[in-house]
Chain A
Amino acid sequence: MIAAHLPALQVVIPLLAAPLCAILRRGTIAWVIAVVANWLAFAVSIGLLFRVLDEGVISYAMGGWAPPIGIEYRVDLINVFVLLVVSGVGAVIIPFARAGTAARFDSTNQAWFYTMYLLALTGLLGVTITGDAFNIFVFLEVSSLASYVMIAMGRDKRSLTAAYQYLIMGTVGATFIVIGVGLLWAMTGTLNLYDLAQRIPDIENTRPVLAALAFLTVGISLKLALFPLHLWLPNAYAYAPAVASAFLAGTATKVGIYLLLRFFFTVFGGEGFFLSTPLPEVFLVLSVVAIFAASTVAVFQNNLKRMFAYSSVAQIGFITLGISYATETGLTAALVHLMNHAIMKAGIFMLLGCVIYRLASMRIDDLAGIGRKMPFTTAGIVILGLGLLGVPGTSGFISKWWLVLAALENGQWWLVALIVIASLITMVYVGRFVEAAYFREPSEKAMNVREAPLAMLIPSYVLVAATIYLGFDTTWSVGLALDAAASLLSAAY
């Protein structure tokens, strides 16, 4: 009985929990509600995974209105993969949120923070699960508006301008997406993604459809911070509260990647059409530039959160590089890195949150000598940093391995060289942190700090452990990604 309604529950549980937090106005109760709702959402994602593996694509008619007239929730392997990443990363972050949030906000504002968190979660899960193009826009704006508020709650007043900047760019991106959806609707008369996929191949070379593809690509690229549309990201991640940075870095851009995959390979009729457009070349060039430009800028940052925010832009470049191949290996690399990067970057921002909790600073000079005072926090950041680098034994190596395989499959030896050089640049900025943390005398600020509380360390270490585990056992991470990539290319939606 419940199994039949899992697709609806995936979105409804956090959606109902959010106003509950707002009404109760008590920080602790709101946190408990958020934890329960997020864990339930994760359980629902796991349930959906088993159902999809068991019976294939699930179609759920929202409210009993049959698609294509009603809104359809449609779950296949790619969906459920992203749902797992989003709800899973959230499920680890939310227990971590308690200590830092309680130290900074009064009880009412804590409740508001959890309300916004749950709304952002609702929106991201909704975008991923829905099979209706307009519904995507609505959920995208639900999650974006909630994220703007979370970012504006940062301790630095620059978080306000960062949130404003993100609001302007995010809204422009969302509006581009609606324009694209509107053009598709005018041409086909449907908003259902499955229906669109059936009707577009007949008219795919008409001008409105190509214009729709262009608008959708630019709009979604803004949301996922593809270079050069990433300008909102560094400040937003740097000045947001640690919980919000970790959550957004782990989930929001990843859902953007999912949308890109869904529109390119399902709605616009498979890789044939994608390869016939200039998009593969455009994405190849932009990804490589993103990797190099953002990594280089990251090296020169003195604010650690900003450094790892730029690193996110670079890592997104690795994911879109995989997409640009439009081969099974390339898409597998993209999906594997989507998950691995979500885990690693969420973990890094959580551990940086531990540092802020004790030190109240992110300047690299204030962090000098922190390795002696906060050994577990520092070691965690270093392990995850090695993951970003792609050192064997971490999940980052697996992603890079698949990316290299995809490049070799296309005979692009020079790209392999570029990937290795990019990893070396990553080593420089991770190295800057290591140098400051371990090889310098403790700064005045770092003199008197203690290790972070266990309530913050344990959730962070879950992600550190996952990074190492996924570096050795890839049966289900790569296995699932391979199946998802295959179903994406066979248009089995």
Chain B
Amino acid sequence: MTTILADLNYWVTVFLLVGGLYIVVAHGNMIKKLVGLSIFQTSVYLLFLSPGKVLGGTAPIIAEGFDVYSNPLPHVLILTAIVVGVATIALGLALVVRIHRSYGTIEEDELHDLESDA
């Protein structure tokens, strides 16, 4: 039990990772797939941020009385990754809007039927 609690952040990461990926694979609704994709990407943010935290450390600003600092690098990386993630989801949603306009549905199985008729 204690080992699970000690690595709680990683358990959460793995849960989000697998859960997100499952939604992407299992759902036929294109919006839900994008939600899953977003959760999947978010899990990676946690994966990067967790090892950067030093217990008892503060923000890396040199000041009197503090000599333990957390690693700031993951925050910089993840800010970039968040921007990439936002752009991806935005583009994905834009495509879904266009698909809905062209086909009148965003369910993958219905789309499949429509496309095989064409």
> A interface vs B, CB < 8 Å?
134, 137-138, 141, 145, 148-149, 152, 157-158, 160-161, 163-164, 167-168, 171-172, 175, 178-179, 182-183, 185-186
A167→B51 contact, CB < 8 A: no
Residues of B within 8 A of A186 (CB): 51
Q: CB-CB contacts of B27-38 with A at 8 A, as 1s and 0s?
A: 000100110010
Q: Whose C-beta in chain B lies nearest to the C-beta of A158? A: B115
Q: Contacts A161-B111, A161-B115, A168-B33 known; A145 to B91 CB distance under 8 Å?
A: yes
Residues of A within 8 A of B99 (CB): 160-161, 164
- The reply to whether the CB of B92 lies closer than 8 angstroms to some CB of chain A is yes
Determine how close the nearest CB of chain B comes to the CB of A143; give it in whole angstroms: 12
> B interface vs A, CB < 8 Å?
17, 21, 24, 30, 33-34, 37, 40-41, 44, 47-48, 51, 77, 80-81, 84, 87-88, 91-92, 95-96, 98-99, 102-103, 111, 115, 118
Determine how close the nearest CB of chain A comes to the CB of B53; give it in whole angstroms: 12
Residues of B within 8 A of A175 (CB): 40-41, 44
A172→B92 contact, CB < 8 A: no
**Known contacts A138-B80, A161-B103, A179-B17; 16 further A-B pairs (Cβ under 8 A):** A138-B84, A148-B91, A152-B95, A152-B98, A158-B118, A160-B102, A161-B111, A167-B91, A167-B95, A168-B34, A172-B21, A175-B44, A178-B44, A178-B81, A182-B44, A182-B47
Of listed B77, B95, B102, B111, residue having the most chain A CB within 10 A:
B95
Q: Contacts A158-B115, A172-B21, A182-B47 known; A164 to B40 CB distance under 8 Å?
A: no
Q: Contacts A145-B88, A164-B96, A178-B81 known; A172 to B40 CB distance under 8 Å?
A: yes
Determine how close the nearest CB of chain B comes to the CB of A69; give it in whole angstroms: 9
Residues of B within 8 A of A164 (CB): 30, 92, 95-96, 99
Q: Whose C-beta in chain A lies nearest to the C-beta of B38? A: A171
Residues of A within 8 A of B41 (CB): 171, 175
Of A134, A138, A141, A163, which is within 8 A of B95 by CB? A163
Q: Contacts A138-B80, A141-B88 known; A171 to B37 CB distance under 8 Å?
A: yes
Q: Whose C-beta in chain B lies nearest to the C-beta of A163? A: B95
- Provide a sorted-by-A list of 21 A–B residue pairs whose CB atoms are within 8 angstroms: A134-B80, A137-B81, A141-B87, A141-B88, A145-B91, A149-B91, A152-B95, A157-B103, A160-B102, A164-B92, A164-B99, A168-B24, A168-B34, A172-B37, A175-B40, A175-B41, A178-B44, A179-B47, A182-B47, A183-B47, A185-B51
A157→B102 contact, CB < 8 A: yes
Assembly CA distance A41 to B66 (angstroms): 49
Assembly CA distance A137 to B45 (angstroms): 14
Assembly CA distance A357 to B87 (angstroms): 33
Q: Whose C-beta in chain B lies nearest to the C-beta of A149? A: B91
Q: Whose C-beta in chain B lies nearest to the C-beta of A235? A: B115
Determine how close the nearest CB of chain B comes to the CB of A295; give it in whole angstroms: 23
Determine how close the nearest CB of chain A comes to the CB of B76; give it in whole angstroms: 9
A148→B51 contact, CB < 8 A: no
Assembly CA distance A186 to B81 (angstroms): 17
Determine how close the nearest CB of chain A comes to the CB of B78; give it in whole angstroms: 10
A141→B84 contact, CB < 8 A: yes
Residues of B within 8 A of A149 (CB): 91
A148→B47 contact, CB < 8 A: no
Assembly CA distance A36 to B24 (angstroms): 41
Q: Whose C-beta in chain A lies nearest to the C-beta of B51? A: A186
Assembly CA distance A178 to B111 (angstroms): 31
B95→A148 contact, CB < 8 A: yes
Residues of A within 8 A of B96 (CB): 164
Determine how close the nearest CB of chain B comes to the CB of A66; give it in whole angstroms: 16
Residues of A within 8 A of B33 (CB): 168
